[in-house]
Structure 1
């Protein structure tokens, strides 16, 4: 055997750069992995704004994540969540904090010093189930208008 085998990857020169948005996407996915955390798209306007990459001024989409980095390493992660009601909110937040830190370490190679979790919305479980099935909540109908009592002129059932 010869010693011409390539060096292990750790011995190769080079540099790895990970964009802040990648850290944020990892944090978002990790938060959604935790039971009790739900995706909340807000209103139809919010969902349409999200399709074109705009932040909506009328509402919010959850979860949200912001990552502060230093030297290309995640230092502080802020996660805003929507949770399903009923659920043990404090336990869900602890699980999110731990899972986000674990996933950033596993996928990006660095564990953040701090993960802050804030619950920004609580959604009833029934509303979450309807959204998952593709149904959208519509407003309650207003008062019914009375039916027209007159006949349409110019229309007739018999042929002349």
Structure 2
């Protein structure tokens, strides 16, 4: 990312510029909005960005689940507990700075889906959602495909044989 701090100004003062632009991934231009002003500062927690990224990744057809095997097993148990809610940030880790963030996703894909195309669609949706909702620049979205989901049309005997 280009240095957006003008000579003689602090980073906070540079953020106050309304029309400031930076070039992000793929040559896209993202507007830097006022996260810090003379009236106060807005900070966005890592968990907020992780939830946004998790929801955005799950919106793409072909993504079966997020998280590794142990995380998915724990999540399944957690959902069976009365009052238990799904963890939408499962399989997502983020690093959030003042103006930028990075996202790491662990996904399980449906069998037969072209993984490279799926990863690109997930990456674009996560970047668009996070940047639109938080005004943070997403510098990278790393995707690790941990497993492939094979649907046996409800025949558990075949699935048990493969485990």
Distance 1:104 1:31, change over 3 A: same
Distance 1:63 1:87, change over 3 A: farther
- List runs of 5+ in structure 1 lacking aligned partners: 1-9, 53-60, 131-135, 141-160
Deviation at residue 35 of structure 1 after TM alignment: 1.0
1:6-155 pair list within 5 angstroms: 13-39=39-65, 46=74, 47-49=76-78, 64-71=91-98, 73-124=99-150, 126-127=151-152, 137=156
* Structure 1 residues 52-111: Cα deviation after superposition (integer angstroms, max 9, x where no partner): 7xxxxxxxx99611101222x442110110100111111000111111011001111112
Tell me if the contact between 2:50 and 2:94 (Cα under 8 Å) persists in the aligned partners: yes
Of 84-93 and 62-71, the range deviating more from structure 2: 62-71
TM-score (norm 1): 0.59
More strand by share: 2
Deviation at residue 121 of structure 1 after TM alignment: 0.9
Tell me if the contact between 1:39 and 1:62 (Cα under 8 Å) persists in the aligned partners: no
TM-score (norm 2): 0.58
> Hey, what's the Cα distance between the residues in 2 that align with 1:81 and 1:62?
12
Of 14-23 and 62-71, the range deviating more from structure 2: 62-71
Give the aligned length.
Answer: 115
Tell me if the contact between 2:107 and 2:144 (Cα under 8 Å) persists in the aligned partners: yes
Distance 1:84 1:113, change over 3 A: same
Q: SS state of the match for residue 112, structure 1?
A: strand
- List runs of 5+ in structure 2 lacking aligned partners: 1-33, 82-87
> Hey, what's the Cα distance between the residues in 2 that align with 1:51 and 1:106?
33
Distance 1:30 1:40, change over 3 A: closer
